[in-house]
Amino acid sequence: MSRLGPIPLEQMTPAQRALFDDLTGGKRSSLSKQTSDFFNEQGALRGPFNAMLRSPELGNLVQRVGEAVRFATTLTGPQREIGIITAGAYWRSNYEFVSHRKHAIREGASEEDCEAVRQGRAPSAPDLATVWKFVKELNETTKVSDDTYDEAFQLLGEQGVAELVILSGYYALVSQLLNAFQVQLPTGVEPPFPE
């Protein structure tokens, strides 16, 4: 069970409601059919957003970074999503991995490449393997080797490498929110990283 219960709309503070409106009316809303898609089975905001409501001013700043990472980078959709699930896998964040695995496949990554990331192996697609290697190495060692940096630079350029570092840091934060507040997967979904 999640450590945080729902906050009904009518009980939200003005700052919480502003964050809620930004989340449900922003670019993420293009991925959902209706506002109710943002709520889980218990009536709380899905994913990390319920935790962000607890500190709405910071939460709004954080979610705006996330929106930019998702919708305003030079990374391709598969590169972005493989980077995200690589960070999620490092932090063993079940919710993050499950959520973005679906996005990765929708963006064109293969099931096999997503499963490789879950198992700690490089994807078979060369560009995705480069992204995976960079994010994995950065998380595991807190640095990247010259060889890994050069490989990523050749693929993504300076801006793309900067965006990949920001993506890795942002999704480490999101994974930590999900893990600290024990955000649960929907009923019936098997965790990719069981306890």
> CATH number of the domain that 85 lies in?
1.20.1290.10
Q: Do residues 81 and 64 share a domain?
A: no
Structural domain contains residue 188: no
Structural domain contains residue 195: no
Taking the C-alpha atoms of residue 56 and residue 58, their distance in angstroms, rounded to an integer, is 6
Residue type, 190: E
Query: For residue 4, how many C-alpha atoms fall within 13 Å in the half-sphere facing its CB?
Result: 23
Q: Do residues 172 and 79 share a domain?
A: yes
Q: Do residues 60 and 120 share a domain?
A: no
Q: Do residues 82 and 165 share a domain?
A: yes
Structural domain contains residue 48: yes
Q: Do residues 96 and 172 share a domain?
A: yes
What is the model's pTM?
0.91
**What is the per-residue pLDDT for 1?**
65
Residues of the chain with pLDDT under 70: 1, 26-37
**What is the per-residue pLDDT for 43?**
72
Q: Do residues 131 and 61 share a domain?
A: no
Domain count, the chain: 2
* Structural domain of 169: 75-180
Structural domain contains residue 153: yes
Q: Do residues 87 and 121 share a domain?
A: yes
Taking the C-alpha atoms of residue 77 and residue 74, their distance in angstroms, rounded to an integer, is 9
Structural domain contains residue 108: yes
The alpha-carbon radius of gyration of the chain (Å, integer) is 17
Taking the C-alpha atoms of residue 172 and residue 163, their distance in angstroms, rounded to an integer, is 14
Q: Do residues 47 and 81 share a domain?
A: no
**What is the per-residue pLDDT for 60?**
93
Read off the pLDDT of residues 24-53 as tens digits, 9 standing for 90 and up. Answer: 886 656 555 555 567 777 777 788 999 999
Q: Do residues 79 and 64 share a domain?
A: no
